[in-house]
């Protein structure tokens, strides 16, 4: 209720203020002003306010405002001021009534129709006001020239209000679209992390299947030899089997989360790379590093392998961010080379010594430690290479002459274009 009263007050004040921006085309007190444009816009934008009550209160407020202004200036006596401005109140009464009867708010998505409806209502309300003025002898005889002028200003004010409304709506839609895009980007990055976990979970399930099979084979051998520990081997096989089933349920849950509705099943390679750059720009800012990012991508293709690529590229670029001491640069370069799409990740960090380049893809190898001196897990590059191999591609470190780190990811184009299947 308070909100509606506040909106009503805004409409009344705006109408009164812009109503003083006027021209008087026929002499006397009849005016063309921007007040009706403000009133029309208010009815369109603040859709929670009741139309008829708004018109009644605005017309009454306009009458009191203009009479009070005349009294303050002292140009006319009270009776003459009431007689001059009372027809204006009838204008707003009739405008709100016609607006309500025409159900103009139903045509908000059709600007041309809405503008014509507004112009018609404005013209008709002007005619009502002029009729009241003629009854009081405050308006000369009506001519075709005055009719044409009324029609011109009605169209002008109506389409000005409709245009202003649509301009605000477009801005609002753009802001909402940007917020939605940011939410989708966050969701994609979250899904990328989940994909990485799911990738290793699936790999672990393969090992669990082998352990289950070997445990059962051990049980059968012990049973055939009548060994007393045969029941223990069976017990182990059963428990490993239960762990495998639980892992399958978790993997199915992760798969449902990753394939959420609202996310496109395909994404342009350039957009995917931009997503990686944006995420790591924020990461660099968060940890207080000044890093210049550069993206070069002339590949005009879309891929369904979104999370696999995001997981690999995000890991490589994040590693580059962490390797750079305080400030530097990172470049992500994408090109088509023969039958492959090749991703290059270069950074100005300290580089990787040649003697260690054969070890960086081994599980557990790391050069990163937290503030407490605890080593990182060292599975990021192993994980990335595993994903790349699942796409029949390769992940290598190139031996550049300059001191830099240069990772190259080469993936067959047909693998990135194929339809995404299971994890």
- Give pLDDT tens digits for 265-308: 678 888 888 888 988 898 899 889 999 999 999 888 888 887 78
Q: Please tell me the pTM assigned to this model.
A: 0.51
The whole-angstrom separation of Cα 319 and Cα 348 is 12
Distance CA(399)–CA(402), nearest Å, equals 9
pLDDT for residue 183: 77
User: pLDDT averaged over the chain?
Assistant: 80
**Predicted pLDDT at 380:** 72
- How big, in percent rounded to 5, are the helix, strand and coil portions of the chain? 65, 10, 25
Given a contact cutoff of 8 angstroms between Cβ atoms, the answer to whether 254 and 193 are in contact is: no
Q: What is the mean pLDDT of residues 313-324?
A: 89
Residues 340 and 413: beta-carbon distance below 8 Å: yes
Query: Which residue has better confidence, 270 or 79?
Result: 270
**Percent of the chain scored above 90 by pLDDT?**
17
**pLDDT at residue 19 tops 70:** yes
Residue 130 to residue 147: CA distance in whole angstroms: 11
pLDDT surpasses 60 at 365:
no
- pLDDT tens figures, 253-264: 666 666 654 445
| Per-residue pLDDT at 363 exceeds 50 | yes
Q: How confident is the model at residue 76 (pLDDT cuts 50, 70, 90)?
A: low
DSSP strand pairing (22-23 vs 32-33)? antiparallel
Whose structure tokens read 């966050």?
A: 186
Average pLDDT over residues 152-165: 89
Residue 181 φ then ψ, to 5° = -65, -40
Residues 6+ apart with CB under 8 A from 365: 356, 359, 378, 381
The Cα–Cα gap between 91 and 79 comes to 19
**Torsion-angle region of residue 331: left (phi > 0), alpha (psi -120 to 50) or beta?**
beta
CB contact at 8 A, 153 and 32: yes
Beta bridge partners of 302: 268
R_g (Cα) of the chain, nearest Å:
37
């Amino acid at each position: 209720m308070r909100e509606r009263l506040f909106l009503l007050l805004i409409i009344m004040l705006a109408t009164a203020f812009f109503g003083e921006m006027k021209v008087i085309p026929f002499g006397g007190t009849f005016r063309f002003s921007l007040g009706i444009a403000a009133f029309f816009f208010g009815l369109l934008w603040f859709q929670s306010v009741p139309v008829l009550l708004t018109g009644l209160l605005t017309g009454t407020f306009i009458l009191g405002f203009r009479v009070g202004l005349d009294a303050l200036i002292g140009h006319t006596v009270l009776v003459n001021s009431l007689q001059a401005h009372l027809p204006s109140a009838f204008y707003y009464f009739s405008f709100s009534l016609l607006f309500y009867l025409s159900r103009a708010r139903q045509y908000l998505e059709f600007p041309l129709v809405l503008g014509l409806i507004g112009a018609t209502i404005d013209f008709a309300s002007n005619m009502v006001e002029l009729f009241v003025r003629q009854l009081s002898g405050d308006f000369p005889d009506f001519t075709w020239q005055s009719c044409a002028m009324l029609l011109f200003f009605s169209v002008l004010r109506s389409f000005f209000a409709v245009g202003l409304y649509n301009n605000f709506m477009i801005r609002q839609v753009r802001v909402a679209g940007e917020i939605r895009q940011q939410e989708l980007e966050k969701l994609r990055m979250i899904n990328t992390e989940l994909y990485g976990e799911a990738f290793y979970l699936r790999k672990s399930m393969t090992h669990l299947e082998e352990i289950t099979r070997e445990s059962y084979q051990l049980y059968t051998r012990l049973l055939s030899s009548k060994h007393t520990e045969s029941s223990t081997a069976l017990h182990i096989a059963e428990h490993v089997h239960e762990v495998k089933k639980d892992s399958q349920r978790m993997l199915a849950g992760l798969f449902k989360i990753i394939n959420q509705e609202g996310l496109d099943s395909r994404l342009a390679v350039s957009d995917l790379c931009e997503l990686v750059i944006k995420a790591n720009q924020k990461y660099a800012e968060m940890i207080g590093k000044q890093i210049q990012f550069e993206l070069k991508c002339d590949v005009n293709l879309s891929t369904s392998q979104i999370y696999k690529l995001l997981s690999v590229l995000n890991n490589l670029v994040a590693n580059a961010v962490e390797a750079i001491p305080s400030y530097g640069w990172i470049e992500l370069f994408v090109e088509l080379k023969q039958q492959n799409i090749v991703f290059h990740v270069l950074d100005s960090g300290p580089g990787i010594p040649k003697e260690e380049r054969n070890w960086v893809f081994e599980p557990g190898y790391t050069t990163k430690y937290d503030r407490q001196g605890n080593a990182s897990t060292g599975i990021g590059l192993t994980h990335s290479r595993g994903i790349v191999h699942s796409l029949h591609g390769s992940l290598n470190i190139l031996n550049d002459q300059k001191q830099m780190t240069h990772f190259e990811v080469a993936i067959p184009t047909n693998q990135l274009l194929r339809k995404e299947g299971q994890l």
